[in-house]
Structure 1
């Protein structure tokens, strides 16, 4: 269940990424992080009225808030900064390649969770395929990128890894429900975003020009890419190892190909071949991704 929940997270992100494009540059990284967090918190608050939260103690609440502050508040802001600085291909290449590796290392070091050699093979196949697909889709024109953009990408990967390991440590016990975990992590993210917006004097509202309607696309993207995705991600951490979950989530770059194809865009031979190879890696992770506890 954890493996398929992780793949569901990746699909939600792939669709949401396409929808977020419709908002153009109306949202700054901080503003986007603020609004997607606020909307998702409101939705999950309604859900929790009807779903009784379970397993919440002061200890788990504090750790989930910290996980959200680092993984969502700081991590997502770094990722959006990387997007603006070095473009989507390079930002995804850096963050989505390094996050699973950092997660595997942190999980081994801090919660004693090791993955088998077969899972390492699956991770390697998936990440290599994702990298090759992203490189194949990269624009042919030459860009001069700021080094800071790559540093933001690395920072995003580190923060994602920390958030993933903390979430896995809390959720692997099976006592905390996914909706409560998602809700608390999003609130934790706001503990960073809101003060930082005030400190940097960033405008809370997006910049809308020519009367463009951006809110419908943004809300739909938030429902998929934040609300549904973080719920599925928390569910995945309850049933699968942190490194496996992060690796499968990285396949969102491949799933975006399917989204593009469904919208009538053509795929190159190279992207099709590497996507097929990635499926082999996913199959390995599915085969050897039995749930474990520590």
Structure 2
């Protein structure tokens, strides 16, 4: 219990990674059926309602009316950057190159967040933090990168378009995290997530209107199977995943939290074996071990 308390931010980040692993698999499936914008909009609606019910029970209010204007401003900006820009590109990357490779590219979010945090927040990193982040990222790379024997080099064997979308998603996630830390401070993480969600809903509503995609949204609302899938993803994504992300950055640095949450590509391996009956390679086992070591170093 003492260790959990001492490393609350790191443990929250680890739970976030588990939640996002489930959400990634679920949302990839839904996105291929109805499109990324539709899935994003609907999962934010579900997330908003779930958080509202939770905060009604725990805080006595459905909406975060006790937040200051400063908190609202920064968290709304965070929602636009992290949810609208970040998730829009990430979910499109799910469709283009799949969740595992997308999550690998998303591992670039920690160094991006570290640079932004250094410039904006003045955050410092210990040598152990830096070593842990490097080891973790190396482990993730071992899992999802492949060596081209003919050219004797490591490269992605996926469309550049999808990789660019994932990179833009990483930039959006990193920027959204830093903006969240600026706005949240000691404010309730779930209420803060709801403010970000409001910004996301408004942003995607505008995008869907511009792209004339409301027909897809209304069609999805009539599909019980799609609704169940998006509902499940919403519980683990915008509700638990995002909220625990904010808890993580409250109690540890943005860069460390981002690095721990970037182990999703490794965590996707067990469900791939158990659910989809995929065969795991020795390279993937090695990458998993290296990643776990990296996460362990972060706890030092």
TM-score, with structure 1 as normaliser:
0.87
- State how far apart, in whole Å, the 2-side matches of 1:137 and 1:268 are: 13
Q: How big is the shift at 1:213?
A: 2.4
The one of 293, 296, 299 aligned to 1:280 = 293
- State how far apart, in whole Å, the 1-side matches of 2:31 and 2:217 are: 14
For residues 53-132 of structure 1, the aligned pairs below 5 Å read: 56-94=67-105, 96-132=106-142
- State how far apart, in whole Å, the 1-side matches of 2:268 and 2:158 are: 25
SS of equivalent residue, structure 1 residue 161: helix
- State how far apart, in whole Å, the 1-side matches of 2:34 and 2:299 are: 37
In structure 2, what is the equivalent of residue 197 of structure 1?
208
- State how far apart, in whole Å, the 1-side matches of 2:258 and 2:129 are: 12
State whether residues 28 and 94 of structure 2, in contact with CA within 8 Å, keep that contact through their aligned partners in structure 1: no
Q: How big is the shift at 1:197?
A: 0.5
The one of 255, 259, 282 aligned to 1:247 = 259
Moved over 4 A (4+): none
Structure 1 stretches lacking a partner, 5+ long: 288-294
SS of equivalent residue, structure 1 residue 56: coil
Q: How big is the shift at 1:107?
A: 0.3
Structure 2 stretches lacking a partner, 5+ long: 1-7, 149-155
In structure 2, what is the equivalent of residue 292 of structure 1?
none
- State how far apart, in whole Å, the 2-side matches of 1:126 and 1:118 are: 12
In structure 2, what is the equivalent of residue 290 of structure 1?
none
State whether residues 71 and 164 of structure 1, in contact with CA within 8 Å, keep that contact through their aligned partners in structure 2: yes
Aligned residues: 278
In structure 2, what is the equivalent of residue 37 of structure 1?
44
After superposition, give the CA deviation of every residue in 1:232-253 in whole Å (9 maximum; x if it has no partner): 1111111010001111111111
Q: How big is the shift at 1:99?
A: 0.8
Q: Please, which moves more after superposition, 68-77 or 47-56?
A: 47-56
Q: Please, which moves more after superposition, 259-268 or 270-279?
A: 259-268
Q: 1:83 to 1:265 in 2, by over 3 A?
A: closer
State whether residues 31 and 206 of structure 1, in contact with CA within 8 Å, keep that contact through their aligned partners in structure 2: no
Please say if 1:236 is aligned against 2:248. yes
The one of 164, 183, 197 aligned to 2:194 = 183
Q: 1:78 to 1:18 in 2, by over 3 A?
A: closer
State whether residues 31 and 94 of structure 2, in contact with CA within 8 Å, keep that contact through their aligned partners in structure 1: no
State whether residues 78 and 153 of structure 1, in contact with CA within 8 Å, keep that contact through their aligned partners in structure 2: yes
RMSD over equivalenced CA pairs, Å: 2.4
